[in-house]
Amino acid sequence: MENVLSILFCLTLLYLVITSRLKTYVSILRAQGVLLSAIMVFPFLHHLSVHILIIPLMSLVIKAIVIPRFINKIIIDLDVHRIVEPSIQPFNFLLLIVASMSTIFVAAHVLSGYTPIEPIPFASAFSAIVTGIFLIIFRKKLIIHVIGFLILENGIFLFGTSVAAEMPTIVELGSMLDVFVVVFLMGIAINKISSTFAKQDVTVLGRLKD
C-alpha cells in the first residue's frame, strides 16, 4: 500500500507541472499532505497507538489544512493573478520532469540491490525534491517559489518516513517547524515586495540595486 500511495504522490507531481492555475497548486499541496499522512500510518496499522498517531495527525493538520489556507490567504489578500506565467513551455517542462523521474527511479532500483531501501518511496521522495527545485527555477511568481519549496520539503519528509525506524520523532517535528518558519517568512517577504512593486514575480527583483 505504501508503494501505491507513493505512486499517487508522483502523479500529483506530474499534474503540478502541467497546470497553470494557482488554485490547483494549492489543491495538490493538500492532496500531498493527505498522502504523506497516510504513508506514515499504514506501516503501523496493526499496532496503532497515540504516540504513533501524533506525527501523522500533525502532518495532516499542518500540510493539508494550515499551510494551504495560509497560501490561499496570501493569494486573496495580494490579489495575485490566478494564472501562472511559465518561463518554459508546459510540454517541455513535463518532458524534463518525466526524464528526471525516470532516471531517479532507475537509479533507486539499482541502489536497492546494494542498500536495504524501498525503491518506490525513495524515488518518489527524490522526484519531489527535484520537481520543487525546478519549480523554483522555471516559475516567475514568488508564491510559486514558496509552493516549490513546500513540494521540495514534502519530498524530504517522504524520504524521512522511509527511514522512520532510524529517525527520531524530534527530527520530524523539527522539519515541520522549519516549514512553518519559512512559509510565514516568505509570506511577510511577499507582502513587503507587493507594497513596493505592482507584480509579485521575481523579474521585479532585477530592478533592485546595492
Quick check: is 209 in a domain? Answer: no
Smallest CA-to-CA distance from 154 within 42, 19, 31 is with: 31
Whether residue 191 lies inside any domain: the answer is yes
The pLDDT of residue 190 is above 70: no
> Would 32 be classed as within a structural domain?
yes
Say which DSSP state 201 is in: B
Residue type, 77: D
Domain tally for the chain? 1
Any domain includes 30: yes
- CA quadruple 4, 127, 164, 111: dihedral sign: positive
Measure CA of the first residue to CA of the last residue in the chain; give whole Å: 53
d(CA 131, CA 146): 13
Nearest 5°: CA angle at 181, between 131 and 171?
75
What whole-number distance in Å separates Cα of residue 24 and Cα of residue 26? 5
Identify the domain containing residue 155 by its residue range: 2-201
Distance of CA 42 to the CA centre of its chain: 21
Establish if 187 belongs to a structural domain: yes
- What are the pLDDT digits (tens) for 10-29? 999 999 888 878 888 889 99
Domain membership of residue 210 (yes or no) is no
Residue holding cell 525503491? 119
C-beta separation of 124 from 7 below 8 A: yes
Q: Write the pLDDT tens digit of every residue in 30-76.
A: 999 899 888 877 766 666 666 667 777 877 888 888 888 888 887 77
Give the pLDDT of residue 149.
83
In b/e form, how buried is each residue of 14-27, taking b as 16+ CB within 10 angstroms?
A: eebbeeeebeebbe
In a domain, 207, yes or no: no
pLDDT of the residue at 118: 80
| Range from 75-79, 123-127, 154-158, 177-181 that averages highest in pLDDT | 123-127
pLDDT at site 80: 67
More confident residue, 92 or 177: 92
Q: What confidence score (pLDDT) does residue 209 get?
A: 46
Is residue 199 pLDDT above 80, yes or no?
no
More confident residue, 185 or 123: 123
Residue 166 within a domain = yes
Instruction: Please check the confidence at residue 196 and state whether its pLDDT lies above 50.
Output: no
Instruction: Show Cβ contacts of residue 141 under 8 Å, excluding neighbours closer than 6 positions.
Output: 80, 81, 84, 85, 200, 201, 202
Task: Report which of residues 133 and 53 the model is more confident about.
Answer: 133
Cα–Cα distance between 55 and 1 in angstroms, integer? 19
